[in-house]
Amino acid sequence: MRAGGQSGLRWRRIGLLLVLTAFTAFAVAAYFTPVLGVKTVQVVGSTTVDDQQVRAVAGIEPGTPMLRVDAAQVSDRVKALPKIASVTVTRSWPSTVRIQVVEREAVAFFVARNGVQLVDAEGVPFEQVSRKPEELPELKVRAVSEVDPATDAALTALMALSGELRAQVAVVSAEKPTDVRMVLRDGREVHWGDNREAERKAAILPPLLTRPGKVYDVTAPSLPTVA
């Protein structure tokens, strides 16, 4: 029994050694040779950004060993494209790198010194266009930026509205974060104030707009007024 037990232990050790050797060989092949190299770079989620542009910026050369593809670096390079909001890079073995992108969506525009710029809900300007988009509201703040409090306040108020009501907004402005105002496409004005109780303001505004008037004040949502 003792001899048989020793023999079994020896074979288990040999088996484990073979597994470790195979794993090491696989890792070496995957990291140092093109045996498990990249053959396909798949771009998913792009609609306005060209897939070829994404691949070019990603900078993944065909044949690059899969394990040597730095997903974080690829993500950073692709995210540098102005229209890209977020990027997820994954490996699909044996030879595909998948780049999932989410593009920025314009929610407003503003007039800059160099022309008309589109801006997303985060306050990031990402594209210059030749004319003012009729379907989007104009954003008016002193300095449009994702770190500007007035920009954030104006866009937060805009995005709190339902899609139907947001489509009626011609201008959203903020001299300061506590003084957001909107002008509707029919000329009526909305005094919004700050974004405390934004959901409540967004809920009471539609029925308030059914009343005749020119100025609709929801700065104090518990006591809205029409003038």
Please report whether residue 168 resides in a domain.
yes
42 is a domain residue: yes
> Same domain, yes or no, for 98 and 157?
no
Task: Verify that 64 and 136 share a domain, yes or no.
Answer: no
Does residue 19 lie within any of the structural domains? no
**191 plus 220 within the same structural domain:** yes
Domain boundary among 54, 83, 103: 103
Structural domain that includes position 64: 37-103
Q: Is position 2 within any domain? A: no
As a whole number, mean pLDDT of residues 184-213 equals: 98
Q: What is the pLDDT of residue 25?
A: 62
Position 187 scores a pLDDT of 98
User: Is the pLDDT score of 39 beyond 50?
Assistant: yes
Domain stop point among 103, 118, 141: 103
Residue 200 sits at φ, ψ, to 5 deg, of -65, -40
The chain-wide mean pLDDT, for the chain, equals: 92
Place 1 in a pLDDT band, splitting at 50, 70 and 90: very low
State the pLDDT confidence band at 36, using cuts at 50, 70 and 90: confident
pTM: 0.82
Number of structural domains the chain divides into: 2
Same domain, 72 and 173: no
List pLDDT tens digits, range 97-134.
Answer: 999 999 999 999 999 999 999 999 999 999 999 999 99
C-alpha of 132 from chain center:
23
162, 206 Cβ separation under 8 angstroms: yes
Which whole number is the average pLDDT over 16-33?
65
Q: At what angle do helices 198-208 and 149-160 cross, to 10 degrees?
A: 50
Q: What is the CATH number of the domain that holds 125?
A: 3.40.50.11690
Tell me which amino acid residue 180 is. Answer: V
Q: Is residue 4 part of a domain?
A: no
What is the per-residue pLDDT across 136-177, written as a single tens digit (0 to 9) for each? 999 999 999 999 999 999 999 999 999 999 999 999 999 999
Q: Are 137 and 169 in contact (CB under 8 A)?
A: yes
Reply yes or no on whether the pLDDT at 61 is more than 90: yes
Q: Say how far apart CA 183 and CA 181 lie, in whole Å.
A: 7
Q: Are residues 66 and 165 in the same domain?
A: no
Kindly state whether residues 83 and 177 are assigned to the same domain. no
> Of 89, 103, 28, which Cα lies nearest the Cα of 60?
89
Q: Is the pLDDT of residue 208 over 90?
A: yes
**How far lies 73's CA from each of 78, 102, 134, 226, in Å?**
9, 17, 38, 54
